[in-house]
Amino acid sequence: MTTNLQKLGLLAGVIIFALLPLGLKSYGVYLCTLFCVYLMATFGLNLTVGYAGQMSLGQAAFLGIGAYIAAIGMKAGLPFMVMMPLAAIACFAVGLALGFPALRVQHHYLAFATLGFNILVYLVMRNEEKVTGGTFGISGIPRPSLFGYSLEPSLPFFWFTLFFTLLVIGMLWWLLRSPWGRAFAALRDNPIRAESLGVNITAYTLLAFAIGAACAGVAGAFFAALVQFIEPAPFHFSWSLMMLLGVIVGGSGRFLGPVLGTVVIVLLPEWLRFMQNWYLAAFGFAVVVLMIWLPGGLLSIPEKFARKGAVK
């Protein structure tokens, strides 16, 4: 009963969100689309961090790799529907390569290894001008078209992005419902026991990294098509920290945690803009309060109240 109600609630939420931009100005539609883009990346990061227990501070690098690959390809005349899977495959491959340090180091050491990777990618984007345009970036990135129908206007592009966001989320749901999901959780909870029970921790660690990275690669392709101009700044490691914050604030290892987390990192700063110069300070304060009050993330609120009720 509750599950059916939850499913209906979820469906209603998706429909309301899909119709929301109809009543918004272009900046509002842009923010909704940007929210979808970051949602793909944070869902991928939640798989790596929340389900497989591997700390990563390099998600913005994968977002950037996906964005640059898509931008360069589309500027060369290749269609978006070719470049998006290419971006995902490239990020999957780089994620596999980055996963190797994860086999040797854990926790904060791994966080620093991925942080170093993000800085390295950022430097390549900034300094390899011939390929990436350096600090001038790449402009004039076209929006895709679908069966001859242009997705240049912001509304159709939003729905197009929303459709693929739901597709990525659906694929991750299916993956986590398969025995792989259980193996990821076993790896996160107790790698020594998992290995003694036949879990190939090498393979699953690499896969967790690579699939999480591929999600960011897809997000990057949409990011490039959304903003139509890319330069290194949005792929700075500070954005990796923001995405990790999104995963943790929403509820690390909870499937829908990234939805609330991405609201906090993408939409909350916009809603706080009325505070003008104080909005970043207010955002920081809100995050500190959230982390102290809800270390399990926003999705742990019902459990927190249930526990309080049980104590009474």
Partner 1 sequence: MMPFLEVKDMRKQYGAIKAVDGVSMKVGPGEIVGVIGPNGSGKTTLFNSILGQIQPTSGNVEFCGENITGMSPLELSRRGVGRTFQTLQVFVKLSVRDNLIAAAQEFKGTLGSRLFAKNDAGLGGHADEMIELFRLKHVAKLPAGSLSYGQQKLIDIAMAFMPAPRLVLLDEPCAGVNPSLVDQLRELLVELNKTQGGSFVVIEHNMDFIMKLCPHVICMVEGKVMAEGPPAEVQANRQVLEAYLGN
Question: Would you say 108 or 177 has its CB closer to partner 1?
Answer: 177
Percent of residues in the chain assigned helix, strand, coil, to nearest 5? 80, 5, 15
Q: Which stretch binds partner 1 (CB under 8 A): 41-49, 84-92, 121-129, 180-188?
A: 180-188
Cβ neighbours of residue 287 closer than 8 Å, sequence gap 6 or more: 245, 249, 264
Q: Are strands 145-146 and 149-150 parallel, antiparallel or unpaired?
A: antiparallel
199 sits near partner 1 (criterion: CB under 8 A): yes
CA 88/CA 141 separation, integer angstroms: 18
Question: Would you say 25 or 104 has its CB closer to partner 1?
Answer: 104
Site string for partner 1, 125-164 (x = CB under 8 A): ----------------------------------------
Q: Return the residue of 29, 61, 141, 183 that touches partner 1, per CB under 8 A.
A: 183
Q: Return the residue of 185, 260, 267, 294 that touches partner 1, per CB under 8 A.
A: 185
For residue 152, give both structure tokens.
Answer: 């240049």
What residues form DSSP beta bridges with 150? 145
Question: Would you say 190 or 228 has its CB closer to partner 1?
Answer: 190
Contact 126, 63 (CB under 8 A): no
55 sits near partner 1 (criterion: CB under 8 A): no
Angle (nearest 5°) at CA 289 between 286 and 290? 85
Q: Return the residue of 126, 143, 188, 236 that touches partner 1, per CB under 8 A.
A: 188
307 sits near partner 1 (criterion: CB under 8 A): no
Of residues 228-257, those binding partner 1 (CB under 8 A): 253
User: CB count, 10 Å around CB of 229?
Assistant: 13
What residues form DSSP beta bridges with 229? 139
Q: Return the residue of 171, 175, 268, 272 that touches partner 1, per CB under 8 A.
A: 175
Q: Pick from 184, 237, 241, 193: which is nearest to 47 by CA?
A: 184
192 sits near partner 1 (criterion: CB under 8 A): yes
198 sits near partner 1 (criterion: CB under 8 A): yes
CA 86/CA 69 separation, integer angstroms: 8
For residue 289, give both structure tokens.
Answer: 């309060």
Q: Pick from 160, 121, 116, 139: which is nearest to 227 by CA?
A: 139
Q: Return the residue of 4, 196, 276, 277 that touches partner 1, per CB under 8 A.
A: 196
What is the smallest separation between the CB atom of 190 and partner 1, expressed in angstroms? 6
Q: What is the largest CA-CA distance in the chain?
A: 66
What is the smallest separation between the CB atom of 253 and partner 1, expressed in angstroms? 7
What is the smallest separation between the CB atom of 36 and partner 1, expressed in angstroms? 26
Contacts with partner 1 by CB under 8 A: the residue count is 24
113 sits near partner 1 (criterion: CB under 8 A): no
**Contact positions vs partner 1 (CB under 8 A):** 175, 177-180, 182-183, 185-186, 188-190, 192-201, 203, 253
